Amino acid sequence: MRTELEISTFEDLLYHYPYRYFDRTQITKIGTINDQTDYVQIAGTLVNINEEGEGRKRRLVAMLYDETGQIELLW
């Protein structure tokens, strides 16, 4: 069996080293996110959670607030 990461055995898993590292200790404020921001970890209050659409076009929509702003989240 072949996977996207080409890990098919336990030994492959042991010797797989990620090429990217994300510092998950850094919390970004919503107000500081801009077009140049690649990856962020945000924290806030999740409100207004709703399901929208029908059938295959159904999605979950919510708003996340912190002291600097708000952001719409889609799943």
Task: Report the pLDDT averaged over residues 23-50.
Answer: 91
Phi-psi label, residue 60: left if phi above 0, alpha if psi -120 to 50, beta otherwise: beta
CB 33 within 8 A of CB 13: no
How do strand 45-52 and strand 69-74 relate by DSSP bridges? Answer: unpaired
Convert the pLDDT of each residue in 12-36 to its tens digit: 889 888 777 778 899 999 999 999 9
Question: Does 74 score more than 70 pLDDT?
Answer: yes
Question: Does 1 score more than 70 pLDDT?
Answer: no
Average pLDDT score, the chain: 89
